[in-house]
Amino acid sequence: MLIDSHCHLDFEDFGAEVPEVVARAHQAGVGGMITICTHVSKFAQVVAVADKFAAQNVWCSVGIHPHHAAEPAEQTTAAHILELAKHLRVVGIGECGLDYYYEHSPKAEQQACFEMQLQVALEADLPVIIHSREADDDTIRILRAAGSKLRGVMHCFSGTRRLAEAALEIGFFISLSGILTFNKSQDLRDIARDVPLDRLLVETDSPYLAPVPLRGKRNEPAFTVHTAAKLAEVKGMSADELARLTTANFFTLFNKAKLA
């Protein structure tokens, strides 16, 4: 069994098709998934998906994406997010972090929002789901400042070797998406080859980043199998071994998640 550690089932791209999407995932051997929150203001619809498909092992997170850090609707308190995180289906905080590539929110506001959510993760004793793009120095600095008890994952990793090594040193996991399968991603495959086996996760980040051979299509959790197959090839192991390994890693990190 595989677990899609990061997808967005509440997004409009899926609409009323979520039951079919979840069913196709299970048919493909993807036995669980986390639907990830990007707007705390929309948490109700995120958790509604997780509640509806609890029997199909759908969990969720709560958090604010760095793109939305400065939006009025997302201005909230750590106490509020901490309260939402008590819900049974919430197994992580985020996605949160820094995005200096688009910089949809000012850097200072991204950093403050990020730091606040790391404190929530520590108080809630939940892993944090990190988005980092073109922001290595500040991401590393802020994660190190949060202390050794912080745990989490660098989601949809496509960054530098320096960022990967720093995240691993901090104790984080590295999650690979469909980007791993792209022709231009040899540098990423080289990094993935060196990530310890006990720190690897797989994800889709669907509806985005459909893997080869499905590039250009709307991504969905069932397509985790293609990324996992490429990662197994990179690591020199069978697909079944890779599935067992990454699923065990998932439950080590997201230890609040329990199979139905």
pLDDT attached to residue 252: 98
Structure tokens at 203: 């994800």
Q: Name the DSSP class of 36.
A: P
pLDDT attached to residue 58: 98
Structure tokens at 122: 């520590």
pLDDT attached to residue 185: 98
Q: How far is CA 222 from CA 58, 72, 161, 248, in A?
A: 13, 35, 28, 19
Q: Which CATH number fits domain 2-253: 3.20.20.140, 3.40.190.10, 3.30.930.10, 3.10.20.440?
A: 3.20.20.140
pLDDT attached to residue 147: 94
Nearest alpha carbon to residue 97 among 138, 149, 61: 138
Backbone conformation region of residue 76, classed left if phi is above 0, alpha if psi is from -120 to 50, else beta: beta
Q: Which residues of the chain have pLDDT under 70?
A: none
pLDDT attached to residue 221: 98
Nearest alpha carbon to residue 105 among 66, 133, 136: 66
Structure tokens at 80: 């509020």
